[in-house]
Amino acid sequence: MATQKVDGVTGSKYLIVRSCDTKGQAKGEYLIAVDLVGCGVGEVVLLSQGSSARQAEITKQRAVDCVIVGIVDLIEEHGQVVFRK
């Protein structure tokens, strides 16, 4: 949780997120993302980064580079479910 934020995105959660493989196992670097969907700890999420992160109404014209835009329920790979929420 961030105690100080840029005006305009106040009220949104900032979360630490990390890339994962198709089975949901964490890997890679950490990012800070604005949570637009109300996800919880440990959930696999979809991110939007760069200029695309500023397309949502709450982030338009704001200093935001990474937003959470969805929660993943299921990952299927080669016809088999490899991750399920």
- Residue 1, pLDDT > 70, answer no
Task: With beta carbons less than 8 A apart as the criterion, state whether 46 and 68 touch.
Answer: yes
pTM, two decimal places:
0.81
Class of the domain covering 13-72: mainly beta
* Strand, helix or coil for residue 35: strand
- Residue 22, pLDDT > 90, answer no
| Percent of the chain predicted with pLDDT > 90 | 51
pLDDT, position 63: 82
Helices (H) and strands (E) in the chain, counts: 0, 6
**Domain map of the chain by residue range?**
13-72
pLDDT, position 25: 85
